[in-house]
Amino acid sequence: MKKQLSLLLIFALLAALLAGCGSAVPAPQAPETPVPSDAPTPAPTVEPSPDPSPAPTEEPAPDYDPEALRPMLWKATDPEGHTLFLFGTIHVGDERSEAVLERVSPILLSCDALAVEFDLVAYQEDLTAAMADYQQFLYADGSTIRDHMPEDLYLRCEELLRQAKAYSPMLDMYNLGMWANLVETAALMVYSGLSADQAMDSHLIYRAYEQEIPVLSIESASFQMSLLNSFPDELNLLMIRETLENLDGYGESLAELYDAWLSGDYDRVLALMSEEDGSADYTEEQLQMLADYDKAMLEDRNRGMAQAALSYLESGETVFLAVGTAHMLDETGIVRLLTDAGCIVERVDY
């Protein structure tokens, strides 16, 4: 398993990038030209009458067992008896994500609020906020990505982005932090059959909207953007090369991770997250950069998420907290942190 694949269990922003690779990255725009006040108003068009609705057809039976879809879910109870649900998500999916949604919805609907990393649905509809966030990735000195990346590496990135129908010359204005994630996004689009449109986080948020359940953001898109832009160029180049050099088997590895998530296999998910390419030969400096990356992406954020969970428990409201599965696992995960804080945390069979 390549290190970047674990981002699908860590970073909600990846779903926003995946949902519209290329179009999800706003191109720097010139000011709009004002329309003259006396511009003629176009004549309204007449919509044709709709054709009669076709007779309903029977849906084919799914080729999977919905009863076997049990991503990890926990219930936390604090010493005062307040409760909270913890649900581990993944930021891509297929039609099985919809089946998971139906299985978990009764528990979600019994809660007072849904808490997520940030509200992906609202963010994808707010172009102004996205433009402001993406500005930090633009080179301010007039240089372009080609001044910061070897030409042969740039050409390989360009080819992959074109395969994903995501390349635009305007992307050259963005820095290595953005390109590392664009290349990862393009690889996922080209080599997997999974889609960000089926991301579990988005499904849960839409269901909460439908049922008028408040949606709480633990972090924000701006926070995640700033974090992505905080890593050194050397690490971004390393991650780009690792993605491009391991495209063979990419879809198979992702499918294995997704299947393990669907089955709720704690040990298998953790093993796949931790597995590294045996051919990788990192220098001491690279190992330290990777360790710093893991700490910032997981350990530091886990503590913030655990503090948010404790505040929800203290409020007395029952919150359904859904974040990337990686944040729940191992000795630094939210489950362990809440247990250490005196909560009883147990798996839920649903």
Residue 275's pLDDT is 74
Mean pLDDT of the chain: 87
Query: Of 87, 122, 258, whose CA–CA distance to 188 is shortest?
Result: 258
Longest dimension (CA), the chain: 68
pLDDT digits (tens, 9 = 90+) for 64-84: 898 899 999 999 999 999 999
User: CA 90 to CA 7: how far, in whole Å?
Assistant: 9
pTM of the predicted protein model: 0.85
Element (H, E) at 80: none
Q: Collapsing DSSP states into helix, strand and coil, what is residue 114? A: strand
DSSP strands (E only) in the chain: 73-77, 83-89, 113-116, 215-217, 319-324, 344-347
Q: Is the pLDDT of residue 309 over 60?
A: yes
Residue 241's identity, in one-letter code, is R
Q: What gap in Å lies between CA 235 and CA 237, rounded to an integer? A: 5
Q: Which residue has the higher pLDDT, 238 or 37?
A: 238
* Distance from C-alpha of 194 to C-alpha of 203, rounded to nearest angstrom: 14
Q: Using alpha carbons, select from 294, 92, 111 the residue that is nearest to residue 203.
A: 92
Measure the CA–CA gap between 96 and 98, rounded to whole angstroms: 5
pLDDT value at 31 more than 80: no
Write the DSSP symbol of residue 71: -
Residue 16 has pLDDT above 80, yes or no: no
Q: How far apart are CA 234 and CA 282, in angstroms?
A: 12
| Secondary structure letter of residue 195 according to DSSP | B
Name which of 69-83, 251-265, 298-312 the model is least confident about.
251-265
What is the mean pLDDT of the segment spanning 25-38?
46
The dihedral of CA 80, 81, 83, 88: what is its sign?
positive
User: Is 50 exceeded by the pLDDT of residue 35?
Assistant: no
Q: What was the pLDDT predicted at 25? A: 59
Note whether 2 and 107 are within 8 A (CB). no
The span from the CA of 91 to the CA of 129, in Å, is 21
Q: φ, ψ for residue 263 (rounded to 5)?
A: -80, -10
- Only one residue has tokens 């990255």, namely 25
